[in-house]
Chains A and B, each alone.
Chain A
Amino acid sequence: MSILTVKNLTKQFGGLVANSNIDMEVQKGSITAVIGPNGAGKTTFFNMVTGVYQPTSGEILLNNESIVGLKPHQVTKKGIARTFQNIRLFGAITVLENVMVGMHNHLHGGLFGTILNLPRVRKEEKEARREAYRLLEYVGLESFFNEEARNLPYGAQRKLEIARALATKPKVLLLDEPAAGMNPKETSELTKLIYNMREELDLTIILIEHDMKLVMEISEHIVVLDHGEKIAEGTPDEIRNNEKVIEAYLGKGAATTAS
């Protein structure tokens, strides 16, 4: 069953076509990778799915319901969460609070309830703190819970972005280069984490990644973009041997030598 369907998705910035006529189907519970050389339009694609950009034309369906035209926070409410390529944590607040921000839509303490410090609000906050701590344990960051987020090491910041995204209770999780800047040990931990999340949290995961080892190891379905167009899709094995893909990455000469 497909959870996310993209039809004819196009985005133009003035004369520049960042994405053109992209079609894609993501199966529920799958791990899908979007790859392509730099500037291929991968992040633009993510930005359209999450409502940061409005597509020039085309359709995005989540569970057969269009999410085009929704604001980013509405898309999050519908069940799509994401992390960012250039880390966007809330640097000056603590790690635990960062995760609690992710719970925003699941907390109901209003303005007056908070000012009057109603028991209902207090209880909810306490629960939220515990839940946030559990999520930190899940990604292995619980020892940092009282630290300011900006003081974390780079790899930990990437994991915190994942924990924060999980706090929104998503159905689909979009990871934008989750392994960028990680050492091999951290990357293998991350690979395990992505697997576990899919199994244990009933998630569908879409990721952009340049680390081919990780991509080939983890994903069931790969979509390749180049110059804003989809040039190939298929299983890792199919992609590995696809001429167009090799050409896009290594140039025309490489493709002929390989074949």
Chain B
Amino acid sequence: MKNWLHTIQQNKRLQALIVGLYIVVTFFSLYLAQKSVVAFLLLLSSLLLLYFTTFSNRVKWLIGGLVMVVLLPLAASQGEAYQSYMEVATLVGIYIAMALGLNIVVGMAGLLDLGFVAFFALGAYTYGIFATGQANNFMPFGHYPLSGESFWVFIFIGCFVAALFGILLGVPVLRVKGDYLAIVTLGFGEIIRIIFNNLDKPVNITNGAMGLASVQPPRLFGIDFMYPSQFYYIVLVILIAVIFAVRRLEFSKIGRAWKAVRENEIAAQAMGIHLVKTKLMAFAVGASFSGMMGVVFAAKQTFVDPTSFTLLESITILVMVILGGMGSVPGVILGAALVTILNLQVLTELTNWLNQLSLNGVISVPDALSPAKMQRFIFGIILILFALYRPQGLLPAKNPVFNEKELKDTDKLVNAGVQKEATQHVHLDS
């Protein structure tokens, strides 16, 4: 088996063949069998297969882009289930971006945040308030709702508002560490939700528990974005930007500072790293991704209310990060995709199936035991199992591998080579 894998790893043409074949087969199976959730999931997992190939990054991005932009929507578009597939894909994208944000805070900077969904809520309400008539209640000027064209600006405003609150939260909270930090952030998450729930008096800003209904759909060149298949592309564009940003930050001065703070605060300070600034930046950047996706979420649901932003959501995002691998960008993407699909597809399908069975009188499952209600139970099990048996997650974080040739000065090359051999011998001896 190992040998066999090794041969494939050596042979790029073979890899191309396998990946190509896989994509073609799953594409047509989804194209022909529209109701098959399995085919949809298999086509999605072609990206995972692609991740394990040894192609250059550019080739991977190109193939991945082709699958996401053209093949997946095309294959899914042939039947009635089109919109529900795209709905799932859109939500997967939203959760991936949020999990990547939380990954910066928890995975890279090592700050356990249990109230992360608050930033998502901030983004959602930022757009929700101004894209409904709600803002008329307290804004002295302007005419609301703002038109759908403002959505594109609000993506950036949501990003900025969330980042700002990330900093505002960070300033008092970063005085505490570890478990205390977790509790304080948990409190913050709940406070934000409760404020949104009660901010309908004395001035009605959020419309309280009633929520904000009929949020304006985004509009571009006179086209309204109403369907999940359209939101899919908005999410995809933001997600790609987010992935690029995270990847670049991870291997930069800033990413190294985050990891240094996670590994050892005292040593990090001794290296000249400003502790508070570095942590605040992690909070702000992580929160900003969430804020952007919050705006998209509000526009997609066309309805915002506080029940979408409970503690369970924060925990869900944390589970994604832990399942995928803390600090690992590919891992977190996989973790977020798995958890979201488990939530939306697998559990719902399973519930439907069981309902069908009990309707036919084969078995009777009490309502309380339906799989859709077992989310917490399943997340709990996942967390325990991963903490025990695979704490590094599904795809553990990898360090960058540097190329020795690039590091050496050309004129020193011969000299350094000799030195290297010498030290290796010493190493073997000792």
Q: Which residues of A contact B (CB under 8 A)?
A: 50, 52, 71-73, 76-77, 81-82, 84, 88-94, 96-97, 100-105, 107, 109, 111, 114-115, 117, 121, 125-126, 128-130, 132-134, 137, 140, 142-143, 145-146, 148, 153, 164-165, 167-168
Contact = CB atoms under 8 A, between A and B. Distances in A.
Contacts of B409: 130, 134
A114 B252 contact: yes
B406 interface: yes
Interface of B: 244-245, 248-249, 252-254, 256-257, 259-260, 262-264, 266-275, 281, 285, 397, 399-402, 404, 406-409, 416, 419-420, 423-424, 427, 430
A130 B407 contact: yes
A88 B263 CA distance: 9
A107 B402 contact: no
B260 A90 contact: yes
A143 B420 contact: yes
B275 A117 contact: no
B398 to A, nearest CB: 10
B419 A73 contact: no
Given A143-B424, A145-B402, A92 B263 contact: yes
27 contacts: A52-B266, A71-B269, A72-B266, A73-B270, A73-B273, A82-B270, A84-B270, A88-B267, A90-B263, A93-B259, A102-B272, A104-B271, A111-B285, A114-B252, A115-B248, A128-B253, A129-B406, A130-B408, A133-B407, A137-B416, A142-B416, A142-B423, A143-B424, A143-B427, A145-B407, A168-B271, A168-B272
B248 A76 contact: no
Contact of B401 (A91, A102, A137, A146): A146
B264 A88 contact: yes
Nearest to A115: B245
Contacts of A103: 253
B121 to A, nearest CB: 24
Contacts of B266: 52, 72, 84, 88
Given A102-B271, A137-B419, A91 B285 contact: no
A94 B399 contact: yes
Contacts of B259: 90, 92-93, 97
Given A142-B420, A145-B407, A146-B402, A107 B269 contact: no
A77 B263 contact: no
Given A73-B274, A96-B402, A168-B272, 16 more contacts: A52-B266, A71-B274, A84-B267, A88-B270, A89-B264, A90-B259, A91-B264, A92-B399, A93-B259, A96-B407, A97-B256, A97-B259, A103-B253, A109-B253, A146-B401, A148-B399
A101 B399 contact: no
Given A109-B253, A143-B427, A93 B420 contact: no
B270 A50 contact: yes
A50 B427 CA distance: 34
Contacts of A126: 406
Contacts of A92: 259, 262-263, 397, 399
A101 to B, nearest CB: 5
A164 B271 contact: yes
B427 A104 contact: no
A114 B399 contact: no
B404 A145 contact: yes
